[in-house]
Amino acid sequence: MSSLLSRHAESVFWMARYFERTESLGRIIETQTSFQRGRGDDNGWAWIVALYSDEEAFAKAFPEANSENVIRFYMAHTENPGSIQSSIKSARENARALRPMLSIDMWYQLNDFCNRVFAFSNAELAEVRLSRTCDAIKRGCYAQIGVAENTLYHDETWPFFRLGLFLERADQTSRLLDVRFAQQQTGLATDEGHYDHTFWSILLRAASAYHAYRRVHPRHIDPREVARFLIFDPRLPRSIAYCLSEMQAMIELLRRNFGLRNAGPAAERVEAMIEGLQTASNDDNLLQNLHAFNDWVQSSLILLNDELGKAFFGYAKATEASVTLPAPAAISQTQSQSQTQVAR
């Protein structure tokens, strides 16, 4: 019989997602600071709003998508639930619900990190210092996840932490790969930008994958190979394939070691995504079809999140029509408050 409450499983799942979301948003903003360096166009930040589909919410908060407003919206605007400050605050709220289950080291590290993020000065959020600030955010997330991996007890809590971490990471990697499309949508880049080698080099560095890529491809940076590396390489911790493999392993752990048989639909969803990746790996025009592929990944991850929610967190059952997605080949041509025990 599982001893883990649904609300605790959900809290640890979302705590991990918020850690990863904070780090990944820091990566996106750092990518923009690198891309914008030396350019005089202050309106080159609008693509970040398009990337996260936040046009409506942003328009309500700020009149113009210039550098100052976009930085403020995603770094320190607490009314934006996707901002870095909001994400790390949500991580701490979920951790508070888990307080008896967390080590003192993990709790202290999270409080220190949260206080540091909320203490950022206007100077630290200025464009000229933003790269250093984003690096501090990434390092704080590294420390937080490291403390969790070294101190979190490996009962049923552990698979839910890893599921949240890698589901969010897969989503954020697909968004990182969609940066060029978002830039095209806002007029910052053209179709020819798909082959901008400098851009893809910056993207690799944003994913902390530059040196790993050069070990596999030492001679040059090929945009097609960069995309394939970040999607399909099973040895890269930030690749979509790696994330799916880890989620598959955690779901199997819940089924095999803890007898949580309700994990079946989620396992089938992950298997379908893995098969979809295998299909996409044979697409010779993957770079041109990258936006459609990323849409498929993000939509599939939303459905996987729903499957996990229905199985373990008390989410309402979805209608049958909402769980059907086209495969990549076809494309290219609230947290609940349940206090029941984790469903078996």
Q: Could you say which residues of the chain have pLDDT below 70?
A: 1-2, 38-43, 185-195, 317-344
pLDDT in tens, 117-156: 999 999 999 988 999 999 999 999 999 999 999 999 999 9
Q: What is the pLDDT of residue 35?
A: 76
Signed CA dihedral, 128, 138, 210, 226: sign only: negative
Cα 29 to Cα 150: distance, rounded to the nearest angstrom: 29
Q: Please answer whether residues 222 and 196 qualify as being in contact, where contact means their C-beta atoms are separated by less than 8 angstroms.
A: no
pTM of the predicted protein model = 0.89
Q: What is the pLDDT of residue 45?
A: 87
The secondary structure of the chain, three-state, reads CCCCEHHHHHHHHHHHHHHHHHHHHHHHHHHHHHHHCCCCCCCCCHHHHHHCCCHHHHHHHCCCCCHHHHHHHHHCCCCCCCCHHHHHHHHHHHHHHCHHHCCHHHHHHHHHHHHHHHCCCCCCCCHHHHHHHHHHHHHHHHHHHHHHHHHCCCCCHHHHHHHHHHHHHHHHHHHHHCHHHHHHHCCCCCHHHHHCHHHHHHHHHHCCCHHHHHHHCCCCCCHHHHHHHHHHCCCCCCCHHHHHHHHHHHHHHHHHHHCCHHHHHHHHHHHHHHHHHHHHCCCCCCCCCHHHHHHHHHHHHHHHHHHHHHHHHCCCCCCHHHHCCCCHHHHHCCCCCCCCECCC
The single-letter code of the amino acid at 146 is G
Question: What's the farthest any 2 CA atoms get from each other in the chain?
Answer: 62
272: nearest Cα among 205, 329, 212: 329
Q: What is the pLDDT of residue 189?
A: 61
Q: What is the pLDDT of residue 338?
A: 43
Residue 55's CB is within 10 A of a number of other CB atoms, namely 13
Mean pLDDT of the chain, nearest integer:
87
